[in-house]
Structures are given as structure tokens and as C-alpha cells.
Amino acid sequence: MWSSLNEWLWQDRFWLPPNNSWTELEDRDGLVFAHPQDMLAALPLALALVAIRFTFERLVGLPLSRWLGVQDQARKLVKPNATLEKHFLMEGWRPNKPQMAVLATQCGLTLRQTQCWFRRRRNQDRPCLTKKFCEASWRFVFYLCSFFGGLLVLYHESWLWRPAMCWDNYPNQPLKPALYYWYLLELSFYISLLITLPFDIRRKDFKEQVAHHLVTITLIAFSYSANLLRIGSLVLLLHDSTDYLLEACKMFNYAHQRRVCNSLFIIFSLVFFYTRLVLFPTQILYTTYYESIANSSPFFGYYFFNSLLVMLQLLHVFWSCLILRMIHSFTKKGQMEKDIRSDVEESASSEEEEAQEHPQLKNGAAQGPQESPTDGPRSRAAGRLANGHMLAT
């Protein structure tokens, strides 16, 4: 059964243009071609990258964050409460008002004390700035090395400057060792990102990030197996050209170096829009959709590969909308209010809620069901402090 499935999956008509077969891509006369089984080496390499990442974050990222002055906010620990903790873990970390009232009665607490417990408990699980900085520093180093490494590999290749050359004598295009190792490293890195996903910070665009990683892994694996290495290498290089700028912007944002962060944000936005919204559709999508079948008819791999590229472009449009929203805020207020693109945490609002809770606690409102007035100088000052605190984080 397995052999039949394997034979069906690797039919020539799925992967190669008409009138081409796998036998033409066998190594011969000193020429080496891409073989699908070569990609299996990415699995152990991905595990190695995970180990390297954790080592890097501990030995390089953490000391660098301290040197740049990244400081974690001091958080008050909640008092142990088995009933509230069970609800937090099993039922949800943000109970509604009726549930909150029932929990308050069960624990002998006021409603405001129960609300404060859940706010502080949510804050305990929020990622600290140091962890964010270490993750961003690892990605920055990899994307930077990958981008300039890719430039070294492709600089002298004709298809870098003329994408139409990607289809010259396709699929009979020999594989160069440097391109193979760079391709393998990229695939291993994105697999490592999926492996560490449960341990990484859960961001607001978590689903889009997962979709991006899955599409990228599928694109890399399919393009290698179908010997679409030339156009695949252009896609990788184009994406790496902006990713390291994004991570650098995050790092300086966490270090509260606003001027550097704002300058990098402007550069990143310009490069992102040009590469993702101009170069990608006009050069990459155009050549894969039109020029790739100039000398052959469409086949399954043609439709599948272009579908993945279109999905990638849709993600580009999604992130471009987020960046445009930030640019609008940037032009109005002169600085970024939040971390760029996807680094706005889902629980970011809980910190503001806790900041608004402090003046109420000081006024003694937590000792009874009455609420402190929401108007007046003290309330307005607390609101300004809360907003200012959110800008700092």
C-alpha cells in the first residue's frame, strides 16, 4: 500500500512540466540535480537550530538586553487561591461578571478583590521584555546572516537580475552546492520556528504567523523537489531583505530607544512596501504565472506553486494594513505607540486595567463593593499615567 501511494504521489505529471520525467534529473556527467529526499536533512538541522537558539538567547541575547538597558516590569504576585486558580486554568483567564460574582462569593472576597486577582494573575503570564528581546535578537541574527549569505550565493547568477532566466532550460537545471546549503538552512529555520511555537510569545497575529510558516515550508520543500530552486531562491531573498529590519526595530523598541526605533520603522516600512507589494507581484508572481509556461503547458505543479505564492501575497497585504495603521498613528503622534506589526500581545490591555486599578486600591475601593469616582483630577491623572505606561511597554 505504501509503495503504491508513493508511486502515485511522485508521478511526473504532478511535479514536472509535460514531456519531462524524473529520469532526466538523475545525476550524470558530474552534474548534480535536486532530489526530494535531500530535504530530510532539514529535520535534524532544525533540532540543532533550536538548541543553538536557546544557547544564543542565554549567552548572547540576555547579556545584550541588559547592556542596552532592557528592564522587566516588576509585577505583584497574586495570593494563592485554589478556587480562582482552578477557574483560571480550566475555565478561562477572563471570567464574565456573573462568574466573577460567584467566584467572589465562594472565596469570601469582594467583587473588586476578585477582579484584581484575575488581572494580576493574567499579568503574571504576560511575557517579559527580556524574553521578547531575546527572541527578536535571535531572529535578527539569523535573518541578517541569511540575507547577506543569500546575496553572496545569488549575486553572480543571471536570474537574480532577470527573473525570466529562472525558466531557462527548466527543469534541467543542475544544483550548485552553495544554493543547496542555503536552501536547506532556510527550510530548517522555519521548521524550528514551528517546533518552538508552543514556547514562543503568543502574538496577536498568531494564526497568520502559523499560516505563513506552513506556506513557507511547503513552498521551500515543493520548489526544491520540483527543481524550482531559482525562483524559490528569489522568494527567500526578497523576504529576508525586510525581516532583519523588523527584528532590529523590535529590539530597539524593547530597549526604549525611540529615535532609533522610529528611524528603523520608517526604513522597514519603505522596504516592506516596495519588496512585498511591488517587486513580489510584478516580478515573482508575473514570471511564475506567465513566463513559466511560455514554452510548455500548465501542469499540477504550476497551479499548486502559484496558489501558495498567492496565499503568501495575501499575508503581505494583511501585514501591510497593520503597518499602514501604525504609520497613521506615527504621523499623528510622532512615535510608535505599540510594537510594530505582530508584536502587540493579546493581554496588553490587562496592564492598562491594572494601572487604572491602582488609584482605586489606594482609595480603599477594594475593601468594599463601592467604586471610586471616575471623574476628577485624580481619575484623569491615573488615566494619563496608564496611557503613558502603555507607551513605554
Read out DSSP for 217-238? Answer: HHHHHHHHHTT-HHHHHHHHHH
Q: Which residues make Cβ contacts (< 8 Å) with residue 147, sequence separation at least 6? A: 237, 240, 241, 243, 244
Q: What is the Cβ-side half-sphere exposure of residue 132, based on CA atoms within 13 angstroms?
A: 25
* Euclidean distance between the first and the last CA atom of the chain, given in angstroms as a whole number: 56
Does residue 35 have a pLDDT over 50?
yes
Q: What is the Cβ-side half-sphere exposure of residue 282, based on CA atoms within 13 angstroms?
A: 7
The total of other beta-carbon atoms located within 10 Å of residue 204's CB is: 18
- Confidence band, pLDDT 50/70/90 cuts, at residue 24: confident
Does residue 209 have a pLDDT over 70?
yes
Does residue 328 have a pLDDT over 80?
yes
- For the ranges 39-53, 80-94, 116-130, 379-393, the maximum mean pLDDT occurs at 39-53
Dist. CA 7–CA 216, nearest whole Å: 25
Task: Give the model's pLDDT for residue 184.
Answer: 94
Task: Give the model's pLDDT for residue 334.
Answer: 61
Specify the length of the chain in residues.
393
Dist. CA 348–CA 342, nearest whole Å: 13
Confirm if 39 and 217 have CB atoms less than 8 A apart.
Answer: no
Dist. CA 149–CA 155, nearest whole Å: 10
Does residue 383 have a pLDDT over 50?
no
387 or 21, higher pLDDT? 21
- Confidence band, pLDDT 50/70/90 cuts, at residue 82: confident
Write down the residue that cell numbers 552546492 correspond to: 177
Does residue 252 have a pLDDT over 80?
yes
Does residue 361 have a pLDDT over 60?
no
Span 124-165, pLDDT tens digits: 666 778 888 999 999 999 999 999 999 999 999 999 999 999
DSSP reduced 3-state for 346: coil
- Confidence band, pLDDT 50/70/90 cuts, at residue 338: low
* Element spanning 180, H or E: helix 177-195
* Average pLDDT score over the chain: 81
Does residue 238 have a pLDDT over 70?
yes
Span 96-123, pLDDT tens digits: 778 888 878 888 888 888 888 777 777 7
The three three-digit cell numbers of residue 53, written as one number:
537558539
